[in-house]
Amino acid sequence: MEEPEVIKALAALAQETRLRIFRLLVVAGPDGRTPGHMADELGTAPTALSFHLKELSHAGLIAAERDGRNLIYRASIPTMNDLLGFLTAHCCQGQACLDMPTKLDCSRC
């Protein structure tokens, strides 16, 4: 991930509602959520939710897939992993100091 992409992703997450949406979608995993379910769970107006989903989508942090009449939104785990990797790339002068991996593998979910 390059700096401009990192800045765009961090800027998208630097807003309370968007951060809550992203975390909700990470928790939802591969099942994702429809905008209606997200609005209900977050107590957010659907029109405001639409704006925030667009911002997260433009940053590459989420993706939408049509399922009949519904859109299903999911967190982009590869983009999240790239962002985490960028932020921790030179942690502790390159020493293996983290107790947990920086990449999440949701393929087993």
How does pLDDT run across 61-97, given as a tens digit for each residue?
999 999 999 999 999 999 999 999 898 887 777 666 6
In this prediction the pTM is 0.85
What is the C-alpha to C-alpha distance for residues 19 and 51, in angstroms, rounded to an integer? 13
- The identity of residue 37, as a single letter, is H
What fold is seen in the domain 3-88? Arc Repressor Mutant, subunit A (1.10.10)
The pLDDT tens digits for 25-74 are 999 999 999 999 999 999 999 889 999 999 999 999 999 999 999 999 99
For 39, residues 6+ apart whose C-beta sits below 8 A from its C-beta are 45, 46, 49
Report helix, strand or coil for 66: strand
| Residue 62: how many other CB atoms lie within 10 Å | 25
- Of residues 19, 80, 97, 82, the one with CA closest to residue 52: 19
